[in-house]
Structure 1
């Protein structure tokens, strides 16, 4: 099995509790920041695409894209750091638990900015300390300052930072699903 096939199997192992949390708590919250056409970069097994049926997903794992397509979702294969869309295509982009997997995120962030319309938004989610440590595929840990700094380097203005499921320092240390989310807008 290749590394991407292993990771796809790992994604399919998410719990029912995790799916309920995403559909009833996380996705409604992040969706309110994403009007219009939305791209889900790193769509995985399509949970966000099932929640937001008008969104388009991309992933670098062929099995994940095929899985999403069998569910009737609009998912497309992307090459590393190359989104298969023209300039200024989307009103919003979601990168939910993606950036921490990318050792050198600059090319990917530049691609995201390229496909954004003027005044479009990006919602980025990254794991907290326990979540980061729990996955050997994670390459870069982001705290608030590092996440904001990276995105501001590409002309994205911070609109809001929040933690999920709720902000609490102790959850950062003891809950794998604890994440930092940032909402950024193209200037």
Structure 2
């Protein structure tokens, strides 16, 4: 059994992943083919897209849903792979760098931009280390 905060809800498009997560006690819901998140408007304090956007050819509908499900003063956290991580997965469709994250969506105000597992951004690390990710945090405008 996995321990997670009771107020944490996960969403996924993969029915097998959802089934597995539910089997270990996680609160997970399936995003149906229409892409609509199965939750109410303004239901969450924040939406987290961790290594999701780069898999989407057209991310606008996902960003629309994040906007819809977060409360008025809600937040958005996005993590995307660096260059090497992006190039390592053939399912990755769109690369995001600091500039594209800054200009991502005018409904969200960028609060911070940093990298993990390092606290500083580095083009050299992005090219060299597969685990390097760029993280952006936003507040709803």
Please identify which structure carries the higher helix content.
1
* Equivalence for 2:49: 95
Query: TM-score, normalising length from structure 1?
Result: 0.70
Alignment of 1:50-129 (within 5 A): 52-80=5-33, 81-129=35-83
CA root-mean-square deviation: 1.5
Distance in 1 of aligned mates of 2:49 and 2:73: 17
Larger % of strand: which? Answer: 2
Please say if residues 117 and 133 of structure 2, whose CA atoms lie closer than 8 Å, have aligned partners that are also in contact: yes
Q: 1:169 aligns with which of 99, 103, 123?
A: 123
Distance (Å, rounded) in 2 between the aligned partners of 1:90 and 1:149: 23
| Secondary structure of residue in 2 paired with 1:92 | strand
TM-score by length of 2: 0.91
What CA distance in whole angstroms lies between the structure 2 residues aligned with 1:50 and 1:103?
A: 33
By how many angstroms is 1:174 displaced? 1.0
How many pairs were matched up?
137
Show structure 1 runs of 5+ residues with no match.
1-48
Q: Find the counterpart in structure 2 of residue 20 from structure 1.
A: none
Does 2:92 match 1:138? yes
- Of 130, 138, 159 in structure 1, the residue corresponding to residue 111 of structure 2 is 159
Q: Which runs of 5+ in 2 are unaligned?
A: none
> Residues 144-173 of structure 1, C-alpha deviation per residue, up to 9 Å, x if partnerless?
111221232xx1100110011112332101
